Amino acid sequence: MMNKVKVVILGKDYTLQTEESPNYVYGLARALEAQMKEAMDHGVSQYNAAIMTALSALDDLNKSRARIDEVCDESKSYVDDAGRARIERDAALKEIEMLKSKVAQLENSLRLKKLKDSI
């Protein structure tokens, strides 16, 4: 559902159509205005403050995407490691079963030998 949201940034009205909630958009507008005002407090024009704020937002976005990529790569590595560990565990369990069977065979052979020796 599209929402029409009216925000005021640095005294200028903007009407936006968005699927986001109005409260979310208001929060974005407040954050944008705060960043622009901070730049303007250092003698930067409104236009340059907008450019600097946009560049800062793009920088944050790019760094966030890079971090997401890193986390995805790490999680893929963890999944691969878990898969290898599962395969190793399954092989170890098979070997344990095989060894248990071998021990049982040897115990039976020993019992038979003792029976033969006692006869």
* Rounded distance between C-alpha atoms, residue 115 and residue 96, angstroms: 28
> Global pTM?
0.64
Q: What pLDDT does residue 116 have?
A: 87
> Domain map of the chain by residue range?
1-43, 46-119
Q: What pLDDT does residue 117 have?
A: 86
Residues 6 or more apart from 16 whose CB is under 8 A from it? 4, 5, 6, 7, 25
**Alpha-carbon radius of gyration of the chain:** 34
How would you write the pLDDT of the chain (119 residues) with one tens digit per residue? Answer: 899 999 999 999 999 999 999 999 999 999 999 999 999 999 999 999 999 999 999 999 999 999 999 999 999 999 999 999 999 999 999 999 999 999 999 999 999 998 888 87
Start-to-end CA span in the chain (Å): 92
Strand partners, 12: 9
Q: What pLDDT does residue 115 have?
A: 86
